[in-house]
Amino acid sequence: MVINMNWGVGLGMILDGALYRGEIGFAGEFSHIPLFNNNKLCSCGKHGCLETETSLLVLVEKAQEGLKAGRVSSLQGIPSNSPEEAYNLIIKSALEGDQFAIELLSEIGLKIGRGVSILIHLLNPKLIVLSGRGAMAGRIWQAPIQQALNEYCIPRLAHNTTIEVSELSYQAEMIGAAALVMENFEHLHLPKIETPRYEEAL
């Protein structure tokens, strides 16, 4: 299973060697499992979805709130108009050891881990890869997610699932898109392009 930690939280499932898409292609809407009683509206129109507590936008919001409340951190001066830049700064600070930035990521990791424990109970996967923009935080995710599994998972089940953080970062999406085209190339109805003969091209 591949979890795409991003502005939402996506999920790809490879079951018995093939990507599982579900009946109409919507399998893996991990973002919208209703896990929290937080009364926070989700992008899907419901409330309390996993996304409302674990999206990287929430990470940026919590950083801004904490700084306003007086947290001491190298995140001071975090841009308020660019979530992308704010996110990059949080990751940079966390990787340099900033305690507040690490706390923010851990808080989100615990909640993602709670969702992951549901996946483990449902499907008993061999491997779960944390991927996407969020994977830039690398090993920082391992401890909080493991903590959540300790807390919420049946040990016998959790023990057999390996959690890894992808090193592909943004490239994962590019490679995935290229693979999708390659896999379906034979079925594409491409317009026939007449290649001009050499002398015509001149």
Nearer to Zn ion, 6 or 106 (CB): 6
Q: Nearer to Zn ion by C-beta: 12 or 48? A: 48
124 CB-near residues (< 8 Å, 6+ apart): 157, 160, 161
Phi, psi at 78, each rounded to 5°: -60, 130
Among 2, 42, 59, 136, binds Zn ion (CB under 5 A): 42
Binding region for Zn ion (CB under 5 A) out of 13-21, 34-42, 138-146, 194-202: 34-42
Binding test (CB under 5 A) with Zn ion, winner from 9, 32, 53, 86: 32
- Smallest distance, Å, CB 48 to Zn ion? 8
What are the DSSP calls for 111-164, one per residue? HHHHHHHHHHHHH--SEEEEESGGGGGGGGGHHHHHHHHHHHS-HHHHTT-EEE
Distance CA 15, CA 144 (A): 26
Q: Which is nearer to Zn ion, 21 or 46 (CB)?
A: 46
Binding mask 113-152 for Zn ion (x = CB under 5 A): ----------------------------------------
